[in-house]
Amino acid sequence: MTDTNPHLDRIRAQFGKQAEIYARMQQTTDERSLRALVQVSGAGAEERVLDVACGPGFLTMTFAAQCRHAVGVDATEVFLAMARVEAERRGLRNIEFRSGDAERLPFDDGAFDLVACRAAFHHFPHPARVLAEMARVAGAQGRVLIADMMSSEDAAKAEYHNRMERLCDPSHARALPPSEFEQLFAAAGLTQRFGATVPVDMELEEYITHGGPDAAAEAEIRAMIDASLDADRGGLSARRQDGRTLFTYQTGVFVLHRV
């Protein structure tokens, strides 16, 4: 992606519009899951960490609380501004936030010991390019952490899921199935040190609020979920529970190193 790429413009427009809502979501701010990611990454006290597509910076700040230095990079200025304010409020001095393109990271080869990316790969039209950049700045001895929603291996269910995501958030590119993540890792010369699938529940009303779709798109999303209650058309286990409509993402968590 470049600054003139229409998809990057969609990302900036979407998150510029929804930044405050996104930054308050439980899945964005949940300290338990953030600390769990830092733990599985093996991040050490003397390590330099990069958080790619850092958004409002909560994972970056969790790394900064444990590591020597943490950098968050994102293409959306409103997120960077929010992250700087929160880091200042927390009194973090070993942290910085920079504007940048995930496909062309503004850092030297091997600049970091650990490079992380949480909840963003589904926004990348060219995930292989992003992963190659992450591996480059991690260097030969560095590690890569990826955590993101995954789609079904069933092509029809995956397409249904991705269509719903794009209705809710036009900056969604594609959620990848587990097998495609494995192919990406192999092509980048990376192997797994750790891999897990974590179910993450989403409540339909919060989902719609976080994306802010127009009335027509919202109606279609609701219809797609209703149609999935019995048939599970998107592979998301949509269901009614205690008066709420829920569905579940399967989130892949991977820690990688060079073969």
Domains of the chain, start order: 6-152+172-201+249-258 (3.40.50.150)
Which whole-number Å values give the CA distances from 221 to 68, 181, 204, in the listed order?
Answer: 44, 26, 9
pLDDT score, position 23: 87
DSSP type of residue 109: T
DSSP type of residue 123: G
pLDDT tens, 173-229? 999 999 999 999 999 999 999 999 999 999 999 999 999 999 999 999 999 999 999
pLDDT tens, 121-170? 999 999 999 999 999 999 899 999 999 999 999 999 999 999 999 999 99
| 231 C-beta neighbours (distance < 10 Å), count | 10
pLDDT score, position 67: 98
Structure tokens at 99: 């504007």
pLDDT at 259 over 80: no
pLDDT at 39 over 50: yes
CB pairs under 8 A, 24+ apart, for 125-130? 125/1, 125/7, 125/173, 125/174, 126/1, 127/176, 127/184, 128/184, 128/187, 128/188, 129/103, 130/52, 130/102, 130/103
Give the residue with greater pLDDT, 53 vs 29.
Answer: 53
Q: What is the band of 4 on the pLDDT scale with cuts at 50, 70, 90?
A: low
pLDDT tens, 60-106? 999 999 999 999 999 999 999 999 999 999 999 999 999 999 999 99
DSSP three-state, residue 56: coil
The answer to whether 246 touches 201, Cβ cutoff 8 Å, is: yes
